[in-house]
Amino acid sequence: MHRTIFTTPVVNTALRALSLAWLRLRGWKLAGTLPAEQPKCVLIAAPHTSNWDLPYTLMVAFALRLNIYWMGKQQIFRWPFGGLMRWLGGIAVNREQSSNLVAASAEALRRADGPVQLIVPPEGTRSKTRYWKTGFYWIAHQAQVPIVMAYMDYPRKLSGLGPVFTPSGDVEVDMRKIKTYYAQFKGKNWQQFDHE
């Protein structure tokens, strides 16, 4: 995995302090911690309904001392912002090209030295969608790492890390359980989030 803002000394400390101050000022509360025995995991990023999710996710990651990587459409990695997006933990994804992103992501997680949390939004878009993509699930399953159910609830200004979920391999049963957990949270544009 490439070097990010989360692994850059001094910058990390300064941005953690700024993130904590900003979140407090805006009235956000944080809950949960990453279990010490789970240094590598896949974080579900849901509900994902707004461009504001990225800056808030980065601030929450600093506040909770996470080492996150996230996937984004390749268009946001073009010049002049590509280098910045990668430094922020971004990994470019070409949605139009069929490639084995799941296998590559799982392999990268297995090979990574030290703690790594890969954030994957299950909706795959900020627009309303009825069906969640299951890439996050299969990445965790193939990498043999757990899923941590991260959330951001805008009405309550509450964000954090929920329970640890170990994929069983029965995606239909497991997805029902995961979506049931997320029914309690509302994104910034909550009408676009479907937990059914």
* 68-72, 95-99, 125-129, 179-183, range with the lowest pLDDT: 125-129
**Average of per-residue pLDDT across 58-74:** 89
- In 11-165, which ranges are continuous DSSP H helix? 11-25, 53-63, 82-87, 101-111, 135-143
- Best mean pLDDT range from 23-27, 81-85, 176-180: 23-27
Q: Which residues contact 56 (CB under 8 A, 6 or more apart)?
A: 28, 152, 159
Q: How many CB atoms lie within 10 A of CB 90?
A: 23
Q: What percent of the chain has pLDDT over 90?
A: 55
Q: How many CB atoms lie within 10 A of CB 143?
A: 24
Q: Which helix (H) or strand (E) holds 161?
A: strand 158-165
Cβ contact 118:34 at 8 Å: no
pLDDT band at 30 (very low <50, low <70, confident <90, very high): very high
Helices (H) and strands (E) in the chain, counts: 6, 7
| Domain encompassing residue 84 | 5-192
pLDDT band at 141 (very low <50, low <70, confident <90, very high): very high
Amino acid at 69: Y
User: Kind of pairing, strands 147-153 and 158-165?
Assistant: antiparallel
CA 148 → CA 26, 77, 113, 181, 192, distances in Å?
Answer: 25, 26, 19, 12, 22
Number of folded domains in the chain? 1
The answer to pTM > 0.85 is no
CA atoms within 13 A on the CB side of 94: 6
Q: What is the mean pLDDT of the chain?
A: 86
Cβ contact 182:46 at 8 Å: yes
The whole-angstrom separation of Cα 109 and Cα 118 is: 8
Rounded CA Rg of the chain? 16
